[in-house]
């Protein structure tokens, strides 16, 4: 108690760090609720606007520093920058991301000044939803681990079919408010919310008991366990390829397969290196398809006398669909690129300072046009369409499916090899939440894990543990009908936020009039 009253900002930092334990890999979600409840209790005692913002900002600083600790590990693979810079990068990113909870607490302070009897949990839940959506969209967005992710595997996560992950974040804030009310001896006002959460959890668990009805489409998902420092080592090129080939296995007569390899699976430019396409097609049966990540280069050609010089000016982070005869059937270019990872903002200013992007190479990646469905030329069932979200793109709720045709599944080639112990399970958790929101199977293939086959309810049909080589051979799960969220997207959590804010204000006004 002394810490919260005499040093509220330190308490807020510690509460923010505690809140991060609710996410994967720890999953201690009750502690996240306790932490948010503590933040609300501190916010109720703030006397000035600056103090309100600083309180939320300190909470965010602790929260994002702990939750995003995996980013520091990525710097150990970039020799162009000192490795210790990774720890500074984690804190620097947290300094920015903390602005969003800071704004939420500031908004709560301002509204409580206007409505002293304001229902704090309802209004704070509304502000939190809006602040998280802002974090996911402003300055290219960083949507990693919104608070609603703590509900994964509780049954409440299935409610994201209707209100999305940001709506689940609002539920988390309401639940934290209920804990605070109960701690103060006020049970009766929060009993309706407790009943609603219990009903959602029960409904969610019951829905997960429904059996899965797979398609007849065979899939093979490969995880070669190739570390980041081995991926671009030319001396290991043959060894790495052999791992991929052996895990892929021999063709199966009469059973076409969809084969999935990770992001940046081979060091090849497939559209300009036919010898690589022939090498890959030798692994396939007559009707097999190979999906893999790679690079699409872009060159500038200059004529100098009798010689034409080509200069690499950019590239796309792509996913390719390769047929058994070595033809490229389709390509998807990653649209949502990672700043400082795949391109260096303000390159002219930052490069002279010694900064570089984390992905090896000098040319920046260029963004693709966005989500779309790729038709797959396979026999058997109705011709399936495949959606693609490369690595980081999978974390953006409501932005993973696009185009006039709804895909049968999402392919998520990723490279989590440089994300330490916390990054891969957090990434997998977010892929599972996308499958629940969209009612769509997800296929993840990564170099070192965690690769997985996920059904349309977010269940892990099969997975390969972190830092293990292996392959998943299974039948593709059948997608479910589009959810409410799949139809309307993030307008739904915004409606939830508006309703919560309106309720808080309307319940405050009669008390004020007395």
- Distance CA(110)–CA(172), nearest Å, equals 22
Token readout for 404 is 């006039």
Contact 460, 435 (CB under 8 A): no
- Distance CA(317)–CA(393), nearest Å, equals 12
- Distance CA(372)–CA(399), nearest Å, equals 11
Query: Please, what are the domains in the chain?
Result: 2-208+490-513 (no CATH), 214-477 (3.60.110.10)
Find where tokens 């290991």 sit: 236
Q: How many of the other CB atoms lie within 10 Å of CB of 170? A: 28
Check residue 420 and give its pLDDT: 84
Contact 243, 447 (CB under 8 A): no
CA angle 345/309/351 to nearest 5° reads 20
Check residue 6 and give its pLDDT: 73
DSSP conformational letter for 407: -
Q: Chunk the chain into consecutive blocks of 10 residues (it has 514) and report each block's average pLDDT, rounded to whole numbers.
A: 73 97 96 98 95 98 95 67 69 94 98 90 97 94 95 97 98 97 90 93 92 90 90 85 94 90 91 93 94 90 76 89 94 86 52 46 80 81 85 95 92 89 95 97 95 96 96 95 97 98 86 42
Could you read off the pLDDT of 222-233 as tens digits, one per residue? 999 998 778 777
- Distance CA(432)–CA(485), nearest Å, equals 15
Upper half-sphere CA count for residue 203 (Cβ side, 13 Å): 12
Check residue 349 and give its pLDDT: 46
Check residue 355 and give its pLDDT: 47
Q: How many of the other CB atoms lie within 10 Å of CB of 379? A: 8
SS3 87: helix
DSSP character string of 25-65? TT--HHHHHHHHHHHHHHHTT--SHHHHHHHHHHHHHHHHH
Find where tokens 């045709």 sit: 405
């Amino acid at each position: 108690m002394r810490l919260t009253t005499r040093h509220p900002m330190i308490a807020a930092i510690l509460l923010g760090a505690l809140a991060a334990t609710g996410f994967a890999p720890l999953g201690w979600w009750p502690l996240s609720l306790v932490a948010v409840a503590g933040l609300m209790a501190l916010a109720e005692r703030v006397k000035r606007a600056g103090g309100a913002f600083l309180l939320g900002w300190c909470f965010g600083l602790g929260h994002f520093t702990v939750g995003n600790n995996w980013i520091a590990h990525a710097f150990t693979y970039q020799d162009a920058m000192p490795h210790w810079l990774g720890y500074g990068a984690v804190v620097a990113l947290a300094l920015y991301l903390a602005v969003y909870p800071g704004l939420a607490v500031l908004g709560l302070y301002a509204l409580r000044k206007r409505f002293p009897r304001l229902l704090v949990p309802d209004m704070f839940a509304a502000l939190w939803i809006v602040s998280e959506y802002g974090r996911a969209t402003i300055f290219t967005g960083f949507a990693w681990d919104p608070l609603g992710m703590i509900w994964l595997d509780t049954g409440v996560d299935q409610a994201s079919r209707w209100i999305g992950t940001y709506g689940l974040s609002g539920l988390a804030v309401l639940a934290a408010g209920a804990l605070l009310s109960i701690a103060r001896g006020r049970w009766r006002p929060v009993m309706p919310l407790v009943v609603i959460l219990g009903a959602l959890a029960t409904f969610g668990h019951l829905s997960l008991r429904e059996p899965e009805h797979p398609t007849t489409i065979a899939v093979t998902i490969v995880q070669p366990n190739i570390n980041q420092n081995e991926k671009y080592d030319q001396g290991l090129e043959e060894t790495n390829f052999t791992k991929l080939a052996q895990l892929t296995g021999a063709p199966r007569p009469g059973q076409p397969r969809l084969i999935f390899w990770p992001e940046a699976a081979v060091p090849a430019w497939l559209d300009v290196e036919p010898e690589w396409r022939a090498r890959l097609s030798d692994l396939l049966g007559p009707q097999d398809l190979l999906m893999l990540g790679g690079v699409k280069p872009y060159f500038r050609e200059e004529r100098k006398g009798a010689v034409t010089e080509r200069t690499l000016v950019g590239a796309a982070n792509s996913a390719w669909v390769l047929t058994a005869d070595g033809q490229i059937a389709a390509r998807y270019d990653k649209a949502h690129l990672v700043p400082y990872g795949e391109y260096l903002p303000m390159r002219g200013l930052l490069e002279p300072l010694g900064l570089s992007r984390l992905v090896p190479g000098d040319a920046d990646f260029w963004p693709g046009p966005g989500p779309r469905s790729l038709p797959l030329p396979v026999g058997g069932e109705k011709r399936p369409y495949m959606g693609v979200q490369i690595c980081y793109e999978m974390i953006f709720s409501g932005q993973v499916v696009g185009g006039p045709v709804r895909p049968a599944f999402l392919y998520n080639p990723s490279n989590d090899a440089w994300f330490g112990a916390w990054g891969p399970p957090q990434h997998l958790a977010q892929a599972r939440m996308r499958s629940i929101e969209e009612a769509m199977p997800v296929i993840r293939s990564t170099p070192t894990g965690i690769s997985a086959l996920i059904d349309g309810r977010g269940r892990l049909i099969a997975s390969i543990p972190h830092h293990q080589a292996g392959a998943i051979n299974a039948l593709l799960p059948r997608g479910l009908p589009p959810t409410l969220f799949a139809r309307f997207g993030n307008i739904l959590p915004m409606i939830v936020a508006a309703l919560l804010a309106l309720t808080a204000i309307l319940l405050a006004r009669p008390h004020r009039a007395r």
